[in-house]
A and B are shown apart, each in its own frame.
Chain A
């Protein structure tokens, strides 16, 4: 790899004197970084000035929040540390939402910020913000560096901390004088050693044997596949385990794709907007094998009545998550893949035929059969759009969602068979995430077909990044599910606030013209036919494209578990068809009055 001349002079012997600003990039290059997302400003200018000497591609964002979301999207797709860069003060504070987002979802990210001269720290200097103080509770670790000698070690440590154990964001705040001063430097390739940081655990083989016994003895077992399955690369071994034991698999939001949705034992997503048969199965199970998930309140509903009949095995790398929300019988702390690798050879299929038949009965023939069979009533539903997108992309695209109703519909109608193909903000639920995260995702996999699925509200939060897409010539496709409302909030107002739509109707610009102003192809679709057509056209375009899908305005996501309610206490679609025949017969029903039966067992 080409390096800065100053550090790779062929005639040189031993370390060279180079400025801190070059040490930053040389270290990043040595750590394998090729792309960073950032925005310049006073306190980081020395670093920017040195950047061009190194084989680093810098993506100029339009708002630093975009930089942190891009680094996040990159990390989720590439499985590597994402890097974002900003100046001190407002540059650094603009990163905060993206850092908090990465923290809650456990995304490996390193944020590099400029800081005022070390002599000025504490003096309320121009653009001075105590960013390590600000980000203390939302980073895995952070550090101020005020000497060039410390820069390389700090960045190496940041990468190590960000990517090991439960991953997370690490911020390195580098003073301007540390960037400008010179020191002797040579990259130290030895692995990082931090005396207080030992995140690896090994699991007792007796405990794994006990897990195997519990699995063999269970009559109604269920596996939960969480983000940890994706992160640890356990998809293959999990599939083998399920093929062997036939245990059905429910997913968390961030676990989707970790286990193939088309597998016959895949149940789909559980939780607040989980499929009804999944939530019921959870409540009826006698054994839960939870892998790489943390029993978030969106997954459990009312804890007091959560899965009371089930013993729980919790495979998790962070001991602080054990017994946090749910008390478990058997914690297996360690890397999910290492544990599953040990469990696979000794696991046996139990006597679970009755249970499988029961779940199949609850599930009905096919979760989406109704969508496919729907008579076209001239209206466009978000579910149609996403189902169509799934069909047209053969389920292989990277879908980057924003937050809201469209996000939940995505989980219901886009069936993910592959890990790292759904990029979505789970823990923080950050609107504005999709567009920048999709840019990062495209850098994480240059050959992938990347689609943004965003609401009209969230899209506008970070719409400025449209011009970043153009400047970078990225082929990102954008689907705006435009319902004229802050849809998810509107749904809650309808259900829990007697329909008072306070501050949720939203006027949007003409998105087609907006795209046009960016020199981007764009289409509008108001019917199913137009939608299918627009998706096909957008896919045929080499570059980016945007589609404004004008969907039914007051549609809601069903089923739904209201906050604080038991997991199987679901709100169902209010319609005559919801009182239809038993689940298994649903697909045979001739006259489905409801234009949109979101799940096969909407009984």
Chain B
């Protein structure tokens, strides 16, 4: 088992990256191809539109040590369709997954399940005679906690989104930013520009 932090993320070299990419056909394929070719192991991947037209935002998690993380960053930066890339593993951040879990539950045990749902701050979103579907949002640790708690009832199916992440506070990852390389073998450190998506 991997250890998890209070926010529920694994600490075994799990790195979280945020990238802005051009919303064009084939871009995800390019990025996936890079990961495959360079043998990077993706744990989670999410892509979605942003408030800026034509720009999508990706969150991905990879197991990598610090040196490898730098090279992942540099290799993604090189891609023509990648507008910016930042490793947010070392900053305060919010990390979320959304999960739907359908459990076997007969009418007489519904309250039991609803109690668990309450404890985990999840919610029931669908009920049938024999099943209930629960939605939970949170970091992996929390989700896994609910999954374990529901397992004895019999999980019919479950589905999760890829992880999405955002840094806390006023700063944002800029959609377009210059890439800098500092000395001491620490290449490359993406510079953060406050808030704006310049």
Chain B residues 1-34 with CB under 8 Å of chain A are 21-22, 26, 29-30, 33-34
Residues of B within 8 A of A210 (CB): 183
Choose from A161, A207, A323, A324 the contact partner of B183 (Cβ within 8 Å).
A207
- The answer to whether A449 has its CB under 8 Å from any CB of chain B is no
Give Cα distance in the complex from A333 to B26, angstroms: 30
Residues of A within 8 A of B70 (CB): 319, 322-323
Residue of A nearest to B26 (CB): A132
- The answer to whether B138 has its CB under 8 Å from any CB of chain A is no
Q: Is the CB of A322 within 8 A of B74?
A: yes
Interface-located stretch among B91-99, B118-126, B174-182: B174-182
- The answer to whether B109 has its CB under 8 Å from any CB of chain A is no
- The answer to whether B82 has its CB under 8 Å from any CB of chain A is yes
Known A323-B70, A323-B71, A331-B187; further 18 A-B contacts with Cβ < 8 A: A133-B29, A136-B29, A137-B37, A141-B80, A196-B22, A196-B82, A204-B183, A206-B183, A319-B77, A319-B188, A320-B74, A322-B71, A324-B71, A327-B67, A329-B184, A330-B184, A331-B183, A333-B188
- The answer to whether B83 has its CB under 8 Å from any CB of chain A is yes
Give Cα distance in the complex from A318 to B75, angstroms: 9
Closest chain A CB from B120 CB (angstroms): 40
Residues of B within 8 A of A331 (CB): 181, 183, 185, 187
**Majority-rule SS of B interface residues:** mixed
State the B residues within 8 Å of A (CB): 21-22, 26, 29-30, 33-34, 37, 67, 70-71, 74-75, 77-83, 176, 178-185, 187-188
Q: What is the 8 Å Cβ interface bit string for chain A, positions 181-201, against chain B (1 contact, 0 not)?
A: 000000000000011111101
Q: Is the CB of B80 within 8 A of A197?
A: yes
Residue of A nearest to B20 (CB): A196
Closest chain B CB from A142 CB (angstroms): 9
- The answer to whether A352 has its CB under 8 Å from any CB of chain B is no
Give Cα distance in the complex from A137 to B77, angstroms: 16
Are A195 and B83 CB-contacts (below 8 A) given A204-B183, A210-B183?
Answer: yes
Residue of B nearest to A165 (CB): B78
Choose from B71, B82, B183 the contact partner of A320 (Cβ within 8 Å).
B71
- The answer to whether A4 has its CB under 8 Å from any CB of chain B is no
Q: Is the CB of B176 within 8 A of A195?
A: yes
Are A323 and B80 CB-contacts (below 8 A) given A132-B26, A196-B22, A198-B179?
Answer: no
Are A327 and B80 CB-contacts (below 8 A) given A196-B22, A320-B74?
Answer: no
Residues of A within 8 A of B37 (CB): 137
Q: What is the 8 Å Cβ interface bit string for chain A, positions 18-62, against chain B (1 contact, 0 not)?
A: 000000000000000000000000000000000000000000000
- The answer to whether A328 has its CB under 8 Å from any CB of chain B is yes
- Among A194, A207, A320, A330, the one with the most B-chain Cβ atoms within 10 Å of its Cβ is A320
Give Cα distance in the complex from A196 to B27, angstroms: 12
Give Cα distance in the complex from A204 to B189, angstroms: 14
Residues of B within 8 A of A161 (CB): 80
Are A201 and B181 CB-contacts (below 8 A) given A136-B30, A196-B22?
Answer: yes
Give Cα distance in the complex from A136 to B179, angstroms: 24
Residues of A within 8 A of B75 (CB): 320
Residues of A within 8 A of B182 (CB): 204
Q: Is the CB of B179 within 8 A of A201?
A: yes
Q: What is the 8 Å Cβ interface bit string for chain A, positions 150-166, against chain B (1 contact, 0 not)?
A: 00000000000100010
Sample (13) of A-B pairs whose CB atoms are under 8 Å apart? A141-B79, A196-B21, A196-B79, A196-B81, A196-B83, A319-B179, A319-B181, A319-B187, A323-B71, A329-B185, A330-B184, A330-B185, A331-B185
Residue of A nearest to B72 (CB): A320
Chain A residues 400-419 with CB under 8 Å of chain B are none
Give Cα distance in the complex from A243 to B74, angstroms: 35
Give Cα distance in the complex from A197 to B187, angstroms: 18
Closest chain A CB from B83 CB (angstroms): 5
Residue of A nearest to B82 (CB): A196
Residues of A within 8 A of B78 (CB): 165, 199, 318, 320
Closest chain A CB from B31 CB (angstroms): 11
Residues of A within 8 A of B188 (CB): 319, 322, 333
Choose from A132, A165, A322, A324 the contact partner of B181 (Cβ within 8 Å).
A322
Residues of A within 8 A of B184 (CB): 329-330
Give Cα distance in the complex from A322 to B188, angstroms: 9
Residues of B within 8 A of A322 (CB): 70-71, 74, 181, 185, 187-188
Q: Is the CB of B82 within 8 A of A323?
A: no
What 8 pairs across the A-B complex have the smallest Cβ distances?
A320-B74, A333-B181, A319-B74, A322-B187, A319-B188, A196-B83, A319-B187, A207-B183
